[in-house]
Structure 1
């Protein structure tokens, strides 16, 4: 085990956006069994600490690779593109206008006659946009050129907007229907 490897290498998986989530899960379970700290309880302090570090790294890797947005961010990070904190790139005004309109729709949902249907419709829109952006990201990432990685980074920035909107939809749904 080597925690200086990237997550894909650590898990012995191909470096790709279209990741086989079943293979990720199976490999994770195998490594969990091998690395579990209980298996090292009779060994030295150093070996127990390493087991804890490996397990933490494994958990971080699985969490990152399981989520399509964080997987895309991580792939770009491996190529030298920081989309975690990067905000100097301006997104196109039409996209930003769309985001404002979607957020206005979300803000008005609780006052509608059928908020549940409105939430479902908005969620469907967000999911469709995310699917489209994931496909675009994958296409750009596979091209593997500096300009295609830039285009993939733009997709990630847009995915971040829709991901946040999706969480806001869930929060409003909880607020409206769990009372």
Structure 2
């Protein structure tokens, strides 16, 4: 296995946003049986190193394709789009306003009569917004048009905001469970 191999080719999956995760897991297990470094324990040092590198590549490929956010970023990178969002921000004012309102709802949920119900409602609202963005992103990732791919990158950034908010909701739920 070439460790620079495209992750979709590695798992013999179509290069698209939607992935059959059961098939991905099945193909991972089959490849892992073949490539696991323990199978190379009695081989030369070079072969052992290659097995470790191949296994690391396989694990990175699995983690990337299992995660919708990482998968979208990977697909964009395959199309030549710089997905390093550390120096880029979302400029959509309506989206940023929505984020502020969602964060206010999160703060309000902590003090609600039934905080778990308030958090559940917030999570449902978040999932609806995420589903819309993911649907747009899936369509955009099929394009090779730079303007469309730029929009896809914007949607990826927005999904990252939602992902962070989801983790914060889970953290608040854990804090409330501990009380």
TM-score band, normalised by shorter chain: over 0.9
Listed one character per residue, the Cα deviations across residues 37-83 of structure 1 (whole Å, up to 9, x for unaligned) are 11111100111111111111111110111011110011111112223
Match of 1:70 in 2: 70
Q: CA deviation at 1:129?
A: 1.2
Residue pair 1:3, 1:10 contacting (<8 A) in 2 also: no
Q: CA deviation at 1:131?
A: 1.1
106-115 vs 140-149, which deviates more?
140-149
Q: CA deviation at 1:97?
A: 0.6
Distance in structure 1 (CA, Å) of the matches to 2:93 and 2:87: 15
Q: TM-score, normalised by structure 2?
A: 0.95
Q: CA deviation at 1:9?
A: 1.9
Distance in structure 1 (CA, Å) of the matches to 2:44 and 2:127: 49
Q: CA deviation at 1:89?
A: 4.8
Q: What pairs up with 1:1-20 in 2 under 5 angstroms?
A: 1-20=1-20
After superposition, the Cα gap between the structure-2 partners of 1:89 and 1:177, relative to the gap in structure 1 and judged at 3 Å, is closer
Residue pair 2:79, 2:144 contacting (<8 A) in 1 also: no
Distance in structure 2 (CA, Å) of the matches to 1:64 and 1:178: 33
Point out where structure 2 has 5 or more consecutive residues left out of the alignment: none
The alignment yields a C-alpha RMSD, in angstroms, of 1.3
Aligned residues: 179
**Higher relative contact order by CA 8 Å / sep ≥ 6: 1 or 2?**
2
Distance in structure 2 (CA, Å) of the matches to 1:86 and 1:140: 22
SS of match in other structure, 2:141: helix
Residue pair 1:140, 1:149 contacting (<8 A) in 2 also: yes
Match of 1:92 in 2: 92
Runs of 4+ aligned structure 1 residues displaced above 4 Å come to none
Residue pair 1:2, 1:10 contacting (<8 A) in 2 also: no
Task: Find out whether 1:60 has 2:50 as its counterpart.
Answer: no
Point out where structure 1 has 5 or more consecutive residues left out of the alignment: none
Q: TM-score, normalised by structure 1?
A: 0.95
Match of 2:113 in 1: 113
Residue pair 2:90, 2:154 contacting (<8 A) in 1 also: no
